[in-house]
Structure 1
Amino acid sequence: MMPSRSSQWEDTPETHLRQIIECLSSLIDLSKSVKVFAVKWQPIRAKLEELRSVLASMEEGGGVQGNPAFSRLMSAVMSSVTEGFDLVRRCVDLSYSGKLLMQSDLDIILAKFDLHSRSLSGMRAAGVVAPGCAIVVPRPASGACKEEMRFYVRDLLGRLKIGDAEMRRQALVSLRETISENEKYVRIVVEVGGVVSVLVGFLDLSDREVQEEAAKVVSLIAGFDSFKSVLIGAGVVSALIMVLECGSFVGKEASLACLAKLTENSDNAWSVSAHGGVIALMKICSSAESDPRLIHPACGVLKNLVGVHEIKSFMIEGGVIQMFISLLRSRDDNVRIGAMEILQAMASGDERTRQLIINGGGIRSLMRILDPSTTVSSRSREVVLVAVEKLCFSSATSIKTLIGHRFLDFLLYFLQRGEVPVQELALKVSAKLCAASEEANKAMGVAGFMPEFVGFLDSKSSEVRATAAEALSIMVLVPKSRKRFIQEDHHVSTLLRVLDLDDGNSGIKQSLISTLLAITRSSVGRRKVINSGYMKSIEKLAEGEVQDAKRLTRKLSTNRLRTMLSGIWYS
């Protein structure tokens, strides 16, 4: 179907170019015999004809093919042509493994030929310039006019198109530094025709340093929402995924950063999936040879993708839940965090997935991370607390499993000894847990959570005080917990003192009054409140129309009157 490898590259650059043109012609003719996926093959054939036309015009002009950049691009074109012959053969023989996979392969080859065509057109427009004769234009000073900036960007574009590998690398470094220092350059870079196409084309080159620098520049551009569509239109997704599959560590790192920014928009998730990105990302996460510094950002991109139901279903069928649960046992802190975050995202609003995670050993693995005896970062503690709440608090069975895995012991430990961010998050989670389950509420009363909540009522943070007050108002609804609370004089006095002092948060007052209403159900509780010396404060709140304060005042006043009458009667 095409010339043998031994005859592909002979004496001169002119001969090489002639052979590529002949191979393109042969591929065009053979593609016409394909009966399946005719709609897919039509744009591929049009792109092949466009490529052949550009190369034919270059052959007539002469001289360009002596340029090193042109030679490298010709190697890439020939590689894509070889791949095209293989796709033709599989379509003709009906030897492909699946329709969806073949459609994806055809989309990828179309993107490759489109990339080659635009790169060649750019070279033809630039002409042939000897790299050693290039004049380097200095970067404009800060505050330079737009025309000076455009001129500088155009000069960089010229060096990118016709320079050798080192000149290209230096131009890319200059472009990256320029964009980083002055955001106004980003719009100019995008507006100057050809820059984005050249950058995307460099992602497909074998020169690692050029590929890495191009990926960094593209990632910077992707940080601006208004320019993401330009990158997508230039075919950046397929190029980035190719870097993930066969690029260097630096190239993969920059490509992952770029994909993370692009997939913040769920519309771009389909493009990543169509070009085989989901499989490439899953491979990074599952491979024992993957650098942990790549696994975390790969998890981040996948987290963006699971917002699309079909993509999430495909991932689950591929076994990602067990893969991410196994990553929870990683020694790398960032890997564990990435795994926890994506599991949480997958389970959001999806009971079936939540159960798959729990039944797959998710709770056990999360508790290993939360265990105070393990050496993990505070950030890991925070993420695991949030993940546990999202995954487990909506099910009584899951909460029971949590309690069986010592979750209350760990939670109480961090309430007492955790670093401030972890401690405050543990308080929020504790409040939500006692509200989510009566069984958990009872167990927390026995375990000793109430004294910790009372202690937080003296916090300088109004948010912390409000959370502690809310948790107490829920816990005292359990009779045994209420009895424990009343038995401690310090608890009641602290509650009343905070109620008297806290003037800024009506939510705190409401929770504290709800707690008082609960504890005054017992005669001991009522007596302690009446004898506390804070009755005037409570009456003042009732006068101020604070919700439930009037009920509390009537309750306590009636009881106080009965006590007085009882004293008179028996005197």
Structure 2
Amino acid sequence: MLSLSFPFLTSNPVRLFHFINPTAPSFSSPFFFFFWVLYSTPCSSACFPLLLELLGLEPMTPLSPPPPSSAPPATPAEILDLILQHLLPVLLVAALSVKSFVGRWRLLHSKLSLLQSSLADAASSPHWPANPLFVDLLPPLLSTLRSLQSLSARCLDPSLPAGKLLLQSDLDIAASALSLHLHDLDLLLRSGLLHHLPSAGAIVLHLPGPSASRADLVLFVRDLFARLQIGSIDLKNKALDSLLQLLASDPPKLAPIVAAEGDLPSLVRLLDPSAHSLIRDQAAAAVSLLATASDVSRRAVFEEGALGPLLRLLDSGSLSVRERAAAAIEAITADPTNAWAVSAYGGVQILIAACRSGSGSPAIQALAAGSLKNISTIDDIRSAMAEEGAVPVLIDLLLSGTLDAQKNAALCVWSLASTGGEEIRASIVREGALQRLIELLREASDPEAMEHALRAIHALSTSPAAAKALSSSPGFFAQLTDLIRRGSAATQQTAAAVFCNLSPGDDVKRSMAGCMASLIKMLESSKPASAQEVAARVLVSLLAVRSNRKELSRDEKSVTRLVQMLDPRNVEVGKKFPVSVVLALAAGGGVGCRRRITEAGACQHLQKLADAEVAGAKKALQKIAGSRLKSFFSMAWWE
């Protein structure tokens, strides 16, 4: 008010002080009261010279404002010198001399001491002027210290003329700014960037070439992460662009270096929903590359707490971000030691929702189904998946999803059925999964998809309801026959294992005679041992039909192979399996069948196996030799 009404008086504070000073010779209470009334009342400044004349004072000529400074901006070296040589020493003394907010100033004193030490360390490097991050840090630091200097002067007055609450707020703001400056400075010092010339490549963010040394890569990565934490939005964006280019050039090689030398927590923090959308999208892409590139970087991403933010992005991010988040989640959950954490973050519902039709892109559905497959091996999560309605969603994917979605859905059903109890298997069958899997097995052209579908059917076939349905389907056994004849080794074994869980009739067994030669070959394979077992079990079942025994005995190549497996010198094949097949073949197979086995040399091998007490060898030998003696006496009687 005074400055508005009487600018010619307030422009000279000494004159004003002289006017209101009680010790001034011209001061008297009535005149002072009259002045205060005028001061408190807006009026024209033209009347104020009359008041001065009544008081016996001469009007003062208003002081002109100082001309604007024409001095050039201070150089970084000058700013650093000003801070180290003038501001910090004064502030350190003032922080111990204040009369108000003593506790806050003691804390500020410790931060100022740390700042002085850190700045001195930075100034000792001859290369600091070439580091733009450090140079850009100096002006705001200078502003913060000048603000603290002003606040220290206010705190020296115990009466706190500006008000206690306002001063307290100003102190907290300045202290927070100082803490941020200390964080940025500490980051630069720990990274070692201040002690390197720009020619090293990291300071100016030139992407290292394929032949770059590890030292150059480490320096580049440290500079990138420094910019992610210190720079502006534009600088962060450029740093993330460079990081993505670096990782994309050779993910398996460079991802471990980034994980070891970069500040991953700072990258994970950029996934927060409050972060700038452009920065968040770029950070999601970088985290996804790290999670999918190598075991080392994937483990580091998980340990820094990225799974929770990634699940949130999958639930509410843009389409591109959701795809990247889904890829990272699938890679993280592929490690069983990480899969349990999905439940802790409430991720089961999110993953199921991502698999639903229309919830996102086909890629998201496939990746989310892969994540569900990964976590379905954990008991608690498996129960949660069943309760949250995962089974119907997975069944829909079996036919309506992409090939990748179908394969992951089939594997997830297999995992639920094989590791879950009978209740889960029964619920899967009730939801119609069995029929969908059979259709996928029949229509899929991808061998891997067929194998996954068959594995799921095998897991379900242990359920009585599923076994009954499959046993009454001749078309399904035709598929099994074809898979045993033409499938890969793994597919052949799984198909044979499915047959072992079923109870087909003789007509079905007759229709499967064409795969017996393939089963004999499976019996020859030394690895895995389970393949020999299921092949033997299927052969024994099929040889229960007389026509199948005759057909196999006519196959000289198969009989020769079977007998060679009886040879004790053939140590690659467990002897109990071919012995059980020979026993089934010799039982009621007719004279011609036993004669062919004998001519192939089975008796001598069976005798040695019987001496070694191999299960079934003695009985098989009796079957063959006994029939030969019976035939001999019969021929003698007729003669």
Q: 1:518 aligns with which of 562, 565, 584?
A: 584
* Cα distance change, pair 199–553 in 1 and its aligned pair in 2 (3 A): same
1:355 CA displacement: 0.7
Give the alignment of 1:293-372 within 5 angstroms. Answer: 293-347=363-417, 348-371=419-442
Paired residue total? 445
Instruction: Encode CA deviations 1:103-161: one digit per residue, 9 max, x unaligned.
Output: xxxxxxxxxxxxxxx9998557569xxxxxx9415455667665544322221123323
Give the alignment of 1:125-136 within 5 angstroms. Answer: 135-136=203-204
Q: Over alpha carbons, which structure has the higher Rg?
A: 2
* Cα distance change, pair 491–462 in 1 and its aligned pair in 2 (3 A): farther
1:247 CA displacement: 2.5
1:529 aligns with 2:594: yes
State the match for 1:253 in structure 2. Answer: 323
* Cα distance change, pair 414–268 in 1 and its aligned pair in 2 (3 A): closer
1:153 aligns with 2:221: yes
1:488 aligns with 2:551: yes
Give the alignment of 1:159-170 within 5 angstroms. Answer: 159-165=227-233, 167-170=235-238
1:236 CA displacement: 1.6
Matched residue of 1:565: which SS?
helix
State the match for 1:280 in structure 2. Answer: 350
Matched residue of 2:587: which SS?
coil
Q: 1:542 aligns with which of 592, 600, 607?
A: 607
1:410 aligns with 2:479: yes
* Inter-partner Cα distance in structure 1 for 2:319 and 2:437: 30
Give the alignment of 1:428-447 within 5 angstroms. Answer: 428-437=493-502, 439-440=503-504, 442=506, 444-446=508-510
* Inter-partner Cα distance in structure 2 for 1:142 and 1:466: 47
State the match for 2:469 in structure 1. Answer: 401
State the match for 1:239 in structure 2. Answer: 309
Matched residue of 1:328: which SS?
helix
Q: 2:460 aligns with which of 370, 375, 391?
A: 391
Scaled by the length of structure 1, what TM-score is found?
A: 0.66
* Inter-partner Cα distance in structure 1 for 2:306 and 2:235: 23
* Inter-partner Cα distance in structure 1 for 2:295 and 2:335: 9
1:464 CA displacement: 9.7
Instruction: Encode CA deviations 1:334-361: one digit per residue, 9 max, x unaligned.
Output: 2222221112222223211111100111
1:565 aligns with 2:628: no
Contact 1:333 1:380 in 2 (8 A): yes
1:528 partner letter: C
Percent of aligned pairs sharing the same letter:
24
Contact 1:244 1:280 in 2 (8 A): yes
* Cα distance change, pair 539–328 in 1 and its aligned pair in 2 (3 A): same
The higher-RCO structure (CA 8 Å, 6+ apart) is 1
* Cα distance change, pair 551–506 in 1 and its aligned pair in 2 (3 A): farther
State the match for 1:217 in structure 2. Answer: 286
* Inter-partner Cα distance in structure 1 for 2:445 and 2:495: 21
1:202 partner letter: L
State the match for 1:262 in structure 2. Answer: 332
* Inter-partner Cα distance in structure 1 for 2:495 and 2:459: 13
1:519 partner letter: L
1:297 CA displacement: 1.0
* Inter-partner Cα distance in structure 2 for 1:475 and 1:197: 56
* Cα distance change, pair 203–454 in 1 and its aligned pair in 2 (3 A): same
Give the alignment of 1:446-485 within 5 angstroms. Answer: 446=510, 448-455=511-518, 457=520, 462=525, 473-475=536-538, 477=540, 481-485=544-548
* Inter-partner Cα distance in structure 1 for 2:632 and 2:577: 30
State the match for 1:103 in structure 2. Answer: none
Gaps of 5+ in 1: 1-52, 67-117, 128-133
Contact 2:205 2:220 in 1 (8 A): yes
Instruction: Encode CA deviations 1:449-473: one digit per residue, 9 max, x unaligned.
Output: 1222225536898369998975664
* Cα distance change, pair 237–62 in 1 and its aligned pair in 2 (3 A): farther
Contact 1:431 1:467 in 2 (8 A): no
* Inter-partner Cα distance in structure 1 for 2:138 and 2:240: 28
1:555 partner letter: K
1:255 CA displacement: 1.7
Instruction: Encode CA deviations 1:417-453: one digit per residue, 9 max, x unaligned.
Output: x5x43xx45532342234323x22645314x112222
* Cα distance change, pair 187–121 in 1 and its aligned pair in 2 (3 A): farther
1:385 CA displacement: 0.6
Contact 1:216 1:254 in 2 (8 A): yes
Scaled by the length of structure 2, what TM-score is found?
A: 0.60
State the match for 2:573 in structure 1. Answer: 507
* Inter-partner Cα distance in structure 1 for 2:358 and 2:277: 23
Gaps of 5+ in 2: 1-110, 116-136, 144-178, 189-201
* Inter-partner Cα distance in structure 2 for 1:490 and 1:354: 40
